[in-house]
């Protein structure tokens, strides 16, 4: 009976078009409507910290180099994923991620809980040539990352993020370039200003192993070490404690 109806509909081209639009709209509404209430349903975790200018620059390099094409940043609620990667990802962790980098392709491992898993030195060696530390690796080498970081775009990017609701102050935006440099030079005169603006939670050190030039490697490693450390919400998620 239903098949018969569909068969007849297929012979009426305009009717079929209207039918497709109706069916498509229902699917669209189901997906889009919940997003209108997202501000009320997803709270910013109380312990959430913003990404620093250096980490943001690293995130931009992560996108530029296409790391997301092989790495996801979202742990699913499946036992084997949690065993391998850690607590599953919760929406609140991504409230300030524009664009989000959850990804779906995993040629390499998920990176959502990467921060603190390896030393900075390991990351530097691995990015310069993955096979130096993981002989069987098929990940490409990124030997050009030791070049100087151009901090010019970090401030404007922070201004855009601020307009999307990420709490960057005008002071943070104005000092983006110096703060990027200060985070990688803990002994410099400007290091204290960085700590005043971002607190003591973001790590301050020479991420590329060299306190000289501020490099793209500094930025990318700072970003990788920050993954999964901006909030503890996923560890404290009540749903997780109740075993749901």
Query: Which residues of this chain interact with ligand HEC, rule CB under 6 A?
Result: 62, 65-67, 69-71, 107-109, 111, 114, 117, 130, 134, 137-140, 142, 220, 224
Shortest Cβ 144–ligand HEC spacing (Å): 10
Cα(192)–Cα(197) distance, rounded to whole angstroms?
9
Residue 90 has a CB neighbour count (10 Å cut-off) of: 20
Nearer to ligand HEC, 126 or 175 (CB): 126
Q: How far is the CB of 150 from ligand HEC (least distance, A)?
A: 17
The answer to whether 122 and 115 have CB atoms below 8 angstroms apart is no
For ligand HEC, the closer CB: 114 or 230: 114
How far apart are the C-alpha atoms of 95 and 72, rounded to whole Å?
Answer: 17
Counting every residue written for the chain, the total comes to: 244
How many angstroms separate the CA atoms of 80 and 95, rounded?
Answer: 26
- 42's CB contacts (< 8 A; 6+ apart) are 91, 92, 95
Comparison of 117 and 232: residue with beta carbon closer to ligand HEC:
117
For the bound state, the minimum distance from the C-beta of residue 63 to ligand HEC, rounded and expressed in Å, comes to 9
In the complex, what is the shortest distance from the CB of residue 70 to ligand HEC, in angstroms, rounded to a whole number?
A: 3
Residue 21 CB, shortest distance to ligand HEC, in Å, is 39
Would you state the structure tokens that stand for residue 184, as one six-digit string?
A: 């990688």
Nearer CB in complex with ligand HEC: 142/168: 142
Task: State the residue number with the nearest CB to ligand HEC.
Answer: 108
User: Positive or negative CA dihedral for 232, 117, 212, 186?
Assistant: positive
Residue 75 buriedness (CB in 10 A; 0-12 / 13-18 / 19+): buried
**Residue of 150, 127, 153 whose CA lies nearest to 140:** 127
137 vs 188, beta carbon nearer ligand HEC: 137
Q: How far apart are CA 168 and CA 51, in angstroms?
A: 9
Q: How far apart are the first and last CA of the chain?
A: 41
Instruction: Return the number of the residue (115 or 186) whose C-beta is nearest ligand HEC.
Output: 115
User: How far, in Å, CA of 70 to CA of 68, rounded?
Assistant: 5
Which residue number, 8 or 119, has a Cβ lying nearer to ligand HEC? 119
């Amino acid at each position: 009976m239903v098949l018969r109806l569909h068969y007849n509909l297929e012979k009426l081209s305009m009717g079929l078009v209207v039918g497709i639009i109706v069916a498509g709209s229902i699917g669209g509404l189901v997906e889009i409507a919940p997003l209108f209430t997202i501000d009320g349903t997803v709270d910013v975790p109380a312990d959430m910290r913003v990404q620093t200018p250096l980490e943001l620059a690293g995130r931009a390099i992560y996108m530029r180099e296409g790391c997301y094409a092989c790495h996801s940043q979202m742990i699913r609620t499946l036992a084997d994923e949690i065993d391998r990667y850690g607590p599953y990802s919760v929406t609140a962790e991504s409230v300030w991620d524009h664009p989000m980098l959850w990804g779906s392709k995993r040629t390499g491992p998920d990176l959502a809980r990467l921060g603190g898993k390896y030393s900075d030195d390991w990351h530097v060696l691995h990015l310069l040539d993955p096979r130096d530390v993981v002989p069987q690796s098929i990940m490409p080498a990124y030997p050009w990352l030791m070049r100087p970081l151009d901090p010019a775009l970090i401030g404007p990017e922070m201004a855009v993020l601020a307009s999307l609701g990420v709490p960057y102050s005008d002071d943070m935006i104005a000092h983006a370039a110096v703060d990027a440099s200060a985070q990688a030079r803990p002994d410099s005169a400007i290091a204290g200003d960085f700590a005043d603006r971002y607190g003591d939670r973001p790590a301050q050190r020479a991420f590329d192993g060299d306190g000289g030039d501020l490099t793209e490697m500094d930025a990318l490693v700072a970003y990788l070490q920050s993954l999964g450390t901006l909030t503890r919400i996923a560890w404290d998620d009540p749903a997780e404690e109740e075993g749901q």
